[in-house]
Amino acid sequence: MNKKIALSLLSALILLPLLGCDQSSNEQQRRDTIDNNASVVDGKKSESNAPTSDANTAQLNTKGEQKHKEQLTAARSWDDIKRTGYIRALKLNFELEEALPRSYSAAAYHQSLLENFALEHQLTIKWVSAGSLNDMLEKLNTFQADIIARHLTVTESRASKIQFTLPVSSSREQLIIASHAPKPNLEQSQSITLLPGSSFIETVKENFPNWQIETFNGGVSSDDIANLLSERKVELTLLDESTVNTLLDYRQDIRVIKTLPAIKKQAWAIHPNAPALLQQLNNFINAHHLSSPTEAKRTADLDNIKKQKRPLRMITRNSPETYFLWRGELMGFDYDLLKEFAKRQGVPLQVIVADSYQQMQDLLNDGSGDVIAAGISRTEKRQKNSQFSIRYNRVNEHLIAHRDAAPITSLNDLNNRTIHVRRSSAFWMTLTSLQKKYSFNLVAADESLSTEMLIDQVDNRQIDLTVADSNLLAIEQTFRDDIVSPLVLKESIPIAYVVRENNPKLLTELNAFIAKEYRQVFYNVTKQKYFSDESQKKKLREERLLLGNQLSPYDDLVKPAAQAFNFDWRLITSQMYQESKFDPTAQSFAGARGLMQVLPKTASEFGFEQLTQPQEGILAGVTYLDWTRDRFDTKLPPQERLYFALAAYNTGFGHVRDAQKLAKQLNLRDDRWFNHVEKAMLLLQQPKYYKNARFGYCRGSEPVNYVRNIHQRYLSYLNLVP
Condensed to tens digits (0 to 9), the pLDDT of residues 401-448 reads 999 999 999 999 999 999 999 998 889 999 999 999 999 999 999 887
Using alpha carbons, select from 592, 598, 601 the residue that is nearest to residue 561: 598
For the segment 88-104, the average pLDDT, to the nearest whole number, is 73
In this model, does residue 37 exceed pLDDT 70?
Answer: no
Domain-located, residue 312: no
In this model, does residue 452 exceed pLDDT 90?
Answer: no
Domain-located, residue 322: no
Same domain, 106 and 17: no
pLDDT band at 44 (very low <50, low <70, confident <90, very high): very low
Alpha carbon distance 614, 324 (integer Å)? 30
In this model, does residue 205 exceed pLDDT 90?
Answer: yes
In this model, does residue 557 exceed pLDDT 90?
Answer: yes
What pLDDT shows up at residue 103?
73
In this model, does residue 593 exceed pLDDT 70?
Answer: yes
Same domain, 165 and 181: no
Alpha carbon distance 709, 646 (integer Å)? 11
Instruction: Tell me the average pLDDT of the chain.
Output: 83
Alpha carbon distance 136, 134 (integer Å)? 5
CA atoms within 13 A of residue 543's CA, in its CB half-sphere: 3
In this model, does residue 535 exceed pLDDT 50?
Answer: no
Domain-located, residue 303: no
Compute CA distances 544 → 239, 312, 548, 553, 573, whole Å: 54, 48, 13, 9, 12
CATH number at residue 561: 1.10.530.10
What pLDDT shows up at residue 71?
62
* 6-10, 119-123, 241-245: the lowest-pLDDT one: 6-10
CA dihedral 17, 22, 26, 30 (to 10 degrees): -30
What pLDDT shows up at residue 268?
96
Percentage of the chain surpassing pLDDT 70? Answer: 85
What pLDDT shows up at residue 590?
78
**8 Å CB contact between 396 and 513:** no
Start-to-end Cα distance in the chain: 24
Domain-located, residue 317: no
pLDDT in tens, 470-497: 988 988 887 788 999 999 999 999 999 9
What pLDDT shows up at residue 259?
95
What pLDDT shows up at residue 8?
38
CATH number at residue 218: 3.40.190.10
579 is catalytic: yes
In this model, does residue 23 exceed pLDDT 50?
Answer: no
pLDDT band at 704 (very low <50, low <70, confident <90, very high): very high
Domain-located, residue 298: no
What pLDDT shows up at residue 25?
38
What pLDDT shows up at residue 171?
87
Alpha carbon distance 330, 505 (integer Å)? 28
Same domain, 105 and 125: yes
Q: Out of 494, 510, 532, pick the residue that ends a domain.
A: 532
In this model, does residue 502 exceed pLDDT 50?
Answer: yes
Q: Out of 481, 497, 532, pick the residue that ends a domain.
A: 532
Same domain, 619 and 596: yes
The DSSP H or E segment spanning 14 is: helix 3-14
pLDDT band at 145 (very low <50, low <70, confident <90, very high): very high
For the segment 671-684, the average pLDDT, to the nearest whole number, is 93
In this model, does residue 367 exceed pLDDT 90?
Answer: yes
Q: Which residue is catalytic, options 241, 476, 579, 616?
A: 579
Domain-located, residue 185: yes
Same domain, 523 and 630: no
Same domain, 282 and 138: yes
Same domain, 237 and 194: yes
pLDDT in tens, 600-616: 888 887 889 899 999 99
Same domain, 221 and 116: no
For the segment 211-228, the average pLDDT, to the nearest whole number, is 87
Same domain, 695 and 571: yes
Same domain, 439 and 499: yes
Domain-located, residue 47: yes
Using alpha carbons, select from 661, 592, 642 the residue that is nearest to residue 621: 592
In this model, does residue 15 exceed pLDDT 50?
Answer: no
Same domain, 421 and 513: yes
Q: How many domains does the chain have?
A: 4
Beta strands 163-164; 169-171: pairing state: unpaired
Same domain, 426 and 455: yes
- Does this model's pTM top 0.75? My answer is no
pLDDT in tens, 249-293: 888 899 999 999 999 999 999 999 999 999 999 999 887 765 554
More confident call, 534 vs 629: 629
Coil vs helix vs strand at 312: strand
Domain-located, residue 641: yes
Domain that holds residue 464: 381-532
Alpha carbon distance 187, 165 (integer Å)? 36
pLDDT in tens, 641-675: 999 999 999 998 989 999 999 999 999 999 999 99
